[in-house]
Amino acid sequence: MSTVIIGFIQPTQPEIIEALAQINQGDADAALASLARAQGTAEIEDTLWKNYVEALILFKQDKFDDGYNALLSLYERVRDSKADFSIDVFRILGAALKKMGWYWRRKKEFEKAYAFHAIQFNYLNEYGSPVELHDTCISLDVDSFSLKDLRQSEFWLRRGLEAAQQIEDGRSRARAMGMSCNNLAGTLYSLNRFDEAVNTINLSMKHWEEYEVHAGTQEFRVLWAHYGVGDVYENWARFLKENGRDFSQQKQRSIESYQQSLELAQQRELPEKESKVIAERLATARLL
């Protein structure tokens, strides 16, 4: 059987939990050893978790096709069965479908990635938690943006915001809202809807500030939110300049936002490579 931790489905077998943690740490050999210690049970959920983790280990070993085929087998087993499965089975299936979409995205076959993430959405829209549903909408947004379908990107981000608002845990809700608003601002300015983009990126900042109250500053979320504000204003300034209109206010707001981001980078000891990215964008904005 399975349980929920902050909205995401998780296994209950200690060895499987340990293997997942080791995969996240990049240690496929340790994960394989943990998986070997997992006791077989009669529960379909435990079997699916084991199959899922085996696929993740194959990905970590750079055996991408083998990992994908293992997930495809898991998906087809559930899809084609006439058994009366528990809700947890479909949530595990949702996790597998996310990785299947990732496999195709990695190969830059975005239409196939979108197709599997759309199947994931159909399952999780019925059986998943708001956190899982939001996560799926983000995947569909990324696929849509990669396909240059900005209207579809906007649709999934607004659907993701609906899911995010239903998340009960304050930290998880703030994170989801911040992420969706940030991505939506990028889509809106790509559609030349700059006023909406500014309002949306400012909402993202608000949510990331709330998130850091819960989670601390080690993820540099507010720092990058200032960078996002600069990005929106810089792109607005470029649009106005290209169309022969005054862009001085947007340019100045862009510079100020990048400066705020860079100041936080120095205060919070952001890695030098990432600080350099902010410094380069600041220099570019000044040259407008």
Residue 147 has pLDDT above 50, yes or no: yes
Q: Which pLDDT score, from 0 to 100, does residue 3 have?
A: 46
Contacts of 14 by beta carbon, 8 Å cutoff, 6+ apart: none
pTM for the complete prediction? 0.93
pLDDT tens for 98-125 read 999 999 999 999 999 999 999 999 999 9
Q: What is the pLDDT of residues 34-80, one digit of tens each?
A: 999 988 887 899 999 999 999 999 999 999 999 999 999 999 999 99
Contacts with 177 (C-beta within 8 Å, 6 or more apart), sequence order: 161, 164, 165, 203, 204, 207
Which domains, ranges and CATH numbers included, belong to the chain? 1-128 (1.25.40)
User: pLDDT digits over 208-264, tens only?
Assistant: 999 999 999 999 999 999 999 999 999 999 999 999 999 999 999 999 999 999 999
On the question of pLDDT at 6 being above 70, the answer is no
Query: Which pLDDT score, from 0 to 100, does residue 42 have?
Result: 77
Per-residue pLDDT tens for 153-176?
999 999 999 999 999 999 999 999
Q: What's the rounded Cα separation, in Å, for the pair 130 and 82?
A: 27
CA dihedral 182, 187, 193, 195 (to 10 degrees): 0
The span from the CA of 211 to the CA of 202, in Å, is: 14
**Block residue for tokens 């169309």:** 243
